[in-house]
Amino acid sequence: NAAYLAPSTVIQSPATNVAVGATHTAEDGVSTTGGAGGLLAGAILTGTANVNPTTTAYVDAGATVGNPTGQAGSLQVTATATEGTNVDAGAGTGGLVAGGGTDAESNLAPVVSTYVGAGAHVSLSGDLTVQAVLNHAEGHSKATSFGGGGVQIGAANANADSSPTVT
């Protein structure tokens, strides 16, 4: 998920507006359900979603956009990401002695970055925009454990961890 102007890039067209952009969107969904029944019954279910993309836009060192006699109009370098997870884990058990457990995990660690490399040659008559945007890095986790019988033991664990990096 990258867009860039390579070191050998030379753009010397006067008043040209140059745009370099990368966009990434991910929505990971996991659903797990199950159950058990009998005299002795047990069920353990887990669901995990991981979203860890890198979205980058840049002008590499050595690239040339415009020069003093042929300035480019503007340069826009943008990277945009929208990331999410939905995890649902459910277990049902029943019996004389029954136990159920669930674990739902959402893990997001997207990286969004933009830059103009040291040594890039940029000569503009207009604006320079360098922008990294993370619309959201949102995790949803739901865990349920239910049942019935003589002795019922249930445990449900849900975690959502979002650790984005935007530079």
pLDDT tens, position by position, 28-69: 999 999 999 999 999 999 999 999 999 999 999 999 999 888
CB burial string 5-32: b at 16+ within 10 A, e below: beeebebeeeebebebebebebebebeb
pLDDT (0 to 100) of residue 69? 84
Distances (CA, A) of 14 to 11, 75, 94, 97: 9, 12, 75, 79
pLDDT (0 to 100) of residue 68? 82
pLDDT (0 to 100) of residue 33? 96
- Predicted TM-score (pTM) of this structure: 0.88
pLDDT (0 to 100) of residue 140? 98
Low-confidence ranges of the chain (pLDDT < 70): none
User: Vertex 20, ends 17 and 21: CA angle to 5°?
Assistant: 130
pLDDT (0 to 100) of residue 78? 98
